[in-house]
Structure 1
Amino acid sequence: MSNSEDPNKPLSLHDPSSSPSHSQPLLSKPPFPSPIDEPPRSESDPTQYLQICYNHGPRSFKDISFLILFLLLVLCTFGFGIFAIFHRNSNYSSLSSFTYNYNSSSCVKDSLSSANWVLLNSSSSHFLKDLIWTLVVTFILSVPLCFGLLLLLKHYTKQIVYVALPFFIVVPIFLNVYWFVACTVSSACSDAFPLAYRILLLVFVFLIIGVIVWILVINWHRIELTVKIIGVASDALSKNLGLFVALPCLTFGLVIYYAPIVVFLVFATFNGDIVAKESSGKYTCVWKQDSWVPAYFALAILTMLWSATAMEETQVYVISGTVAQWYFSKEDEAPRKSIRSSLRNAFGPSSGTICLSGLLLCVVRMVRAAVDSARNEEASGIVNLVLRCCVNALLTAVDFLNKFTINFAAITGEAYCSSARMTYELLRRNLLSAVFVETISSRLLIGIVFVISAIYTIAVCAILKAVSNLGAYSYLVAALAWLLLILVLGFFVHVLDNVIEAIYVCYAVDRDKGEVCKQEVHEVYVHLPISRSQRQSLPSRTIGV
């Protein structure tokens, strides 16, 4: 079948014959061992490669077995949780009122029981009131702060970055000196924290600040490129502001999904019996859980961890699908219902792929946590060291393969394994690194967020000291406000990082086809470093404009 039969037909990922002859190849199955060593192919043979483009059409379900496994795990968690509610022992809450009866050789409940009531004093009430109001105001202000920061990064990226850079040093120095002086002046703090330890901590913090200065100096030549990358990503995110509605809704949905599981875990602890325990000739009444309760805890926790990583990958999928539709759209046409279609694909055809990616991410994090825990337990020996190195190498390989897999799956609708393979081939053919986009951008964004949150926290602390009677508790309230603001702004940075990576994959697709869908993106991303392993093997490619 020839392309001339239907000129309006979109390029298909699974239709090799639809690949235009002028496009650069992506994947191949050549008769030679390595495509690097092959002689150049004739442009008259486009059927040897698959053509990548955004798949707007209906997508088939992929990796369905992992979706079924995930649903079975969820059904078992909810099923046994409901059983735990109806099978609970109501005597658990009154364990203290049971005593051992020597006549019946069992634990019986006393006829008298007492209840203890804890009343909050007035100072605690003031503390809670001020804390709640501070957190509410912080959360409300965090929304315009995020949008304001996005607009500033879009229009004044260079100014924001260069103004924030000195604060990376000034704010830590100010906080370091302030706590030292405040602790020295306060008799309670100075008595609890001797001068020698205060000086040691002061010097240690200054050393950390020195490391920050050193990092900025050695990476100064990359600041300009980082500024441009952040500007391009901020522009793309500003064109898809609906993500700031969809993504928090997904997070809120995960919290709602967690709520019954937490309830099930609470009621699972109520499953058991009150039994007598003998110790040194004395009998006491203790609670003995049913044997299946620990297994249910493991099942529920595993379900929650897998659900969290799957939701994280879902957000990456939605961001990538939305950004890709914006990227491959014409300049004078805005994509319609891009977020809705990305959500439909994420919870529909690609749900199995997301479950598989979430499972791999969950396993990697659990294994890495176990390795870190073993490292902290003074485990020594050459065998231990070799095992840790092997595990770390395996985890690094999984991270390497998983880096842009979901981004690619969101664009094409491919299964996980084929997406991982095709993404690697796509980046390798175009001399792009599969593990490096521009890490300095993430660090700069984190630094900007830290500066903003630190300035806000200082202002909150000053206001609380002026209008409230919290005293030293004002520092605690300000610290909690800082934590809330850093979480919200950190979510913004996380979204912007995912946008940067999604644009990177879209740019690779453009580069592979020899096209330019977004000229401003090519002008920036073309300056990213190429893959060192292929710098000498492949000739440089030119991008047509």
Structure 2
Amino acid sequence: MDDSKENPALITTLHDSSASEPLLSKVPEPCRSEVEKEPDLSQHLQITYKHSPRPFRDLPFLIIFAFLVLCTFGFGIFSVFHRNSNYSNVSSYTYSASSDSCVRSSTSASWVTFNSPSSAPSPDFASWVSLKSLSSSNILRVLTWVLGITLILSLLICFLLLLLLKRYTKQVVYVCLPFFFAVLVFFNIFWFVACTVSSSCSDAFPLAYRTLVLGIVFLIIGVIVWIFVANWHRVNLTVNIIGVASDALSSNLVLLGVLPCLSIGLVAYYAPIIVFLVFARHNGKIVPKESSSGEYTCAWKQEGWVPAYFALASLIMLWSLTTMIEAKVYVISGTIAQWYFAKEEEDSAPRQSISTSLRNAFCSSSGTLCLSGLLTAIVRIVRRSDDSTGREDAPGTLNPVLPFGANPLLSSIEFLNKFAINFAAITGEAYCTSARMTYQLLKRNLLSAVFVEVVSTRLLGGIVFVISAVYAVATWGILKGATDLGVYSYFLALLAWGVLMLVLGFFIHVLDNVIDTIYICYAIDRDGGEVCKQDVHEVYVQLPISGNSGSSPGSRIITA
């Protein structure tokens, strides 16, 4: 029997579903940030930011992590109180044949050696030491000033760079790109001329080899220029994406202050573990040891549990590091998502968005972060093992397997893990659910994640490189003209360049995570046919659509 004749509603449903129209061609509904839209059970579940109190997720991994931390601190405290104070006095023990044990020697050879006339320094040596101490004191004073001024200026540079990227993104990128290649060309010519002028460098590095390296570097620069020219249409779109992300970050400036505090908290958490590792070495005893010649000497023998404790402490430190990294991504994603899904009439971010993200990260989603951090730690360990398999003398049976089978799998895990944390921060779902829903979300909308991942990171990295290089050259010029440090001015300028790169690299890392979060929020909007941020949609709607609906996001990022 034909069901359509008895069920007229079915005819209407089939007629409505047969109409094919673009996903965003409908008139967008107003964004509902506080009240979630009632899901349509006939289609996929409606995705939105979850404001209500969230249940705890992935609790078993949180329990395992907490148990290992307690074991680390418990055995660490035991190592402090159970230490052997004779650890540093092994040299003062000698073997006693009568008792077949090590006993403390009655003589103090070190005192005799110290006061012997032969050990007294010569006048020439003493004068050399005093001159070196004076020079070291001067360098240390200048180094303190350089680092202090660089740290202060780096904060100002980050703030100004954020404002420039928000208002004049295209101008900043178009100015920095030529400077980026100009700096590369300058340094390539500079080292060639400096090595040619220096007699020691020119003798150690012949002209033929210098010319070969010079040509190879110029060839690499040419390839980079060709890549930018060939992808110039992507550069224009990425400029707009960076501008949108800068606007979002400027509305949540507190992130730039909270995230370093999390790093400081991690260092404070590491401090007692490092102390425990130091005292763990003091757990043992002095025992006789027979040498190859048959004579007995005294040596330190650690207790059997000490190597296991070192392995446990190293594992928990790595797991804590990766978990804190994921927690930072979670806080950024949760804060930016609250800004994104807020009402259009609200110019600033919702109140207490940072505190809400921190509470969700370290309470309801702490197990999810522990699981994500564990996966990241495993990936790093496997990658390090993969690197070691490249050596011919590397032991193990995985040598023929890891280079070919591990890299695609690890890349897929890293990709899904990255966006799973973004999704978990928005919805509060468990890790596996977030990974699956993110995969389905990107696959349904056929969005090209490779575009957002690669181009924006390269552009921002180039901007940071140009600013740091200009600052390093200015620092070197000031040190060269105002001090008589000589060759040390190069090292101080290089150190200032590294410090500024580190601070700006942190800023770019935050901005990259903001771009990823807005990308996921846009995908959620696109999936539900809503527009929460009109200016974001005007930019992200230009993203290229992946033509292969059957390929996974992970495979697309691998091939890129």
TM over 0.5: yes
Provide, for residues 394-452 of structure 1, a one-character-per-residue CA deviation record: whole Å limited to 9, x for no partner: 21331242231011111111001111111111122222245552411100100110111
Question: Are the equivalent residues in 1 in contact too, given 2:33–2:49 (CA < 8 A)?
Answer: no
**Which residue of 103, 121, 139 corresponds with 2:133?**
121
Residue 52, structure 1, aligned to residue 47, structure 2: yes
Residue 93, structure 1, aligned to residue 88, structure 2: yes
Residue 204, structure 1, aligned to residue 202, structure 2: no
Match for residue 41 of structure 1?
Answer: none
Question: Are the equivalent residues in 2 in contact too, given 1:226–1:438 (CA < 8 A)?
Answer: no
Provide, for residues 197-254 of structure 1, a one-character-per-residue CA deviation record: whole Å limited to 9, x for no partner: 4333333322322232222222222110010010000000000001011111111111
1:293 Cα offset (Å): 1.4
Q: Which moves more between the two structures, 173-182 or 379-388? A: 379-388
Match for residue 389 of structure 2?
Answer: 374
Distance 1:375 1:469, change over 3 A: same
Question: Are the equivalent residues in 2 in contact too, given 1:54–1:324 (CA < 8 A)?
Answer: yes
User: In the TM superposition, what are the counterparts of 1:35-74 in structure 2 within 5 Å?
Assistant: 46-74=41-69
1:101 Cα offset (Å): 4.1
**Which residue of 175, 185, 195 corresponds with 2:187?**
175
Rounded Cα–Cα distance in structure 1 between residues aligned with 2:162 and 2:301: 55
Rounded Cα–Cα distance in structure 2 between residues aligned with 1:289 and 1:9: 60
Match for residue 272 of structure 1?
Answer: 284
Rounded Cα–Cα distance in structure 2 between residues aligned with 1:285 and 1:195: 56
The DSSP-based 3-state class of the residue aligned with 1:273 is: strand
Match for residue 26 of structure 1?
Answer: none
**Which residue of 251, 267, 279 corresponds with 1:255?**
267
Q: Which moves more between the two structures, 212-221 or 331-340? A: 212-221
Residue 130, structure 1, aligned to residue 142, structure 2: yes
Residue 112, structure 1, aligned to residue 126, structure 2: no
Alignment-mate amino acid for residue 51 of structure 2: H
Rounded Cα–Cα distance in structure 2 between residues aligned with 1:488 and 1:67: 31
**Which residue of 257, 270, 289 corresponds with 2:302?**
289
Match for residue 358 of structure 1?
Answer: 373
Distance 1:8 1:264, change over 3 A: closer
Match for residue 243 of structure 1?
Answer: 255
Rounded Cα–Cα distance in structure 2 between residues aligned with 1:76 and 1:124: 44
User: In the TM superposition, what are the counterparts of 1:398-409 in structure 2 within 5 Å?
Assistant: 398-409=413-424
**Number of residue-to-residue matches in the alignment:** 500
1:289 Cα offset (Å): 2.0
Question: Are the equivalent residues in 2 in contact too, given 1:155–1:231 (CA < 8 A)?
Answer: yes
1:500 Cα offset (Å): 0.3
Alignment-mate amino acid for residue 90 of structure 1: S
Provide, for residues 501-527 of structure 1, a one-character-per-residue CA deviation record: whole Å limited to 9, x for no partner: 000111011111111111111111111
Distance 1:109 1:207, change over 3 A: farther
Distance 1:259 1:383, change over 3 A: closer
Distance 1:287 1:462, change over 3 A: farther
Provide, for residues 42-67 of structure 1, a one-character-per-residue CA deviation record: whole Å limited to 9, x for no partner: xxx64543211111111000001101
Residue 479, structure 1, aligned to residue 494, structure 2: yes
Question: Are the equivalent residues in 1 in contact too, given 2:36–2:48 (CA < 8 A)?
Answer: yes
The DSSP-based 3-state class of the residue aligned with 1:331 is: coil
Rounded Cα–Cα distance in structure 1 between residues aligned with 2:450 and 2:435: 13
Question: Are the equivalent residues in 2 in contact too, given 1:66–1:352 (CA < 8 A)?
Answer: yes
Question: Are the equivalent residues in 2 in contact too, given 1:400–1:434 (CA < 8 A)?
Answer: no
Question: Are the equivalent residues in 1 in contact too, given 2:389–2:399 (CA < 8 A)?
Answer: no
Alignment-mate amino acid for residue 458 of structure 1: V
The DSSP-based 3-state class of the residue aligned with 2:286 is: strand
Alignment-mate amino acid for residue 69 of structure 2: V
1:283 Cα offset (Å): 3.5
1:367 Cα offset (Å): 0.6
1:328 Cα offset (Å): 0.7
Rounded Cα–Cα distance in structure 1 between residues aligned with 2:45 and 2:247: 31
Question: Are the equivalent residues in 2 in contact too, given 1:78–1:261 (CA < 8 A)?
Answer: yes
The DSSP-based 3-state class of the residue aligned with 2:548 is: helix
Match for residue 355 of structure 2?
Answer: 340
Match for residue 441 of structure 2?
Answer: 426
**Which residue of 151, 159, 170 corresponds with 1:147?**
159
Question: Are the equivalent residues in 2 in contact too, given 1:403–1:435 (CA < 8 A)?
Answer: no
Question: Are the equivalent residues in 1 in contact too, given 2:386–2:402 (CA < 8 A)?
Answer: no
Distance 1:446 1:387, change over 3 A: closer
- In structure 1, the gaps of 5 or more residues are 1-6, 13-17, 20-44, 537-545
Match for residue 318 of structure 2?
Answer: 305
Provide, for residues 452-491 of structure 1, a one-character-per-residue CA deviation record: whole Å limited to 9, x for no partner: 1111111112222222232222222222221111111000
Rounded Cα–Cα distance in structure 1 between residues aligned with 2:441 and 2:253: 29
**Which residue of 475, 479, 482 corresponds with 1:467?**
482
Rounded Cα–Cα distance in structure 2 between residues aligned with 1:107 and 1:207: 66
The DSSP-based 3-state class of the residue aligned with 1:534 is: coil
The DSSP-based 3-state class of the residue aligned with 1:60 is: coil
Alignment-mate amino acid for residue 11 of structure 1: E
Residue 410, structure 1, aligned to residue 425, structure 2: yes
- In structure 2, the gaps of 5 or more residues are 1-31, 115-120, 122-128, 552-560
1:387 Cα offset (Å): 4.4
TM-score by length of structure 1 reads: 0.86
1:122 Cα offset (Å): 1.5
Alignment-mate amino acid for residue 355 of structure 1: C
**Which residue of 46, 50, 72 corresponds with 1:77?**
72
1:109 Cα offset (Å): 3.4
Rounded Cα–Cα distance in structure 2 between residues aligned with 1:305 and 1:8: 37
Rounded Cα–Cα distance in structure 1 between residues aligned with 2:315 and 2:60: 18
Structure with larger Rg: 2
Rounded Cα–Cα distance in structure 2 between residues aligned with 1:158 and 1:385: 47
Rounded Cα–Cα distance in structure 2 between residues aligned with 1:9 and 1:468: 61
Rounded Cα–Cα distance in structure 2 between residues aligned with 1:8 and 1:150: 27
Alignment-mate amino acid for residue 213 of structure 1: V
Distance 1:8 1:47, change over 3 A: farther
Alignment-mate amino acid for residue 213 of structure 2: L
Alignment-mate amino acid for residue 152 of structure 2: I
1:9 Cα offset (Å): 7.6
The DSSP-based 3-state class of the residue aligned with 2:364 is: coil
Percent identical among aligned pairs is: 66
Match for residue 38 of structure 1?
Answer: none
Distance 1:521 1:470, change over 3 A: same
1:104 Cα offset (Å): 4.2
Question: Are the equivalent residues in 1 in contact too, given 2:448–2:543 (CA < 8 A)?
Answer: no
Match for residue 397 of structure 1?
Answer: 412
The DSSP-based 3-state class of the residue aligned with 1:49 is: coil
Q: Which moves more between the two structures, 418-427 or 391-400? A: 391-400
1:492 Cα offset (Å): 0.5
Q: Which moves more between the two structures, 52-61 or 475-484? A: 475-484
Question: Are the equivalent residues in 2 in contact too, given 1:424–1:434 (CA < 8 A)?
Answer: no
Match for residue 26 of structure 2?
Answer: none
Residue 214, structure 1, aligned to residue 229, structure 2: no
Residue 498, structure 1, aligned to residue 513, structure 2: yes
Question: Over the residues paired in the alignment, what is the CA RMSD in angstroms?
Answer: 2.5
Distance 1:381 1:411, change over 3 A: closer
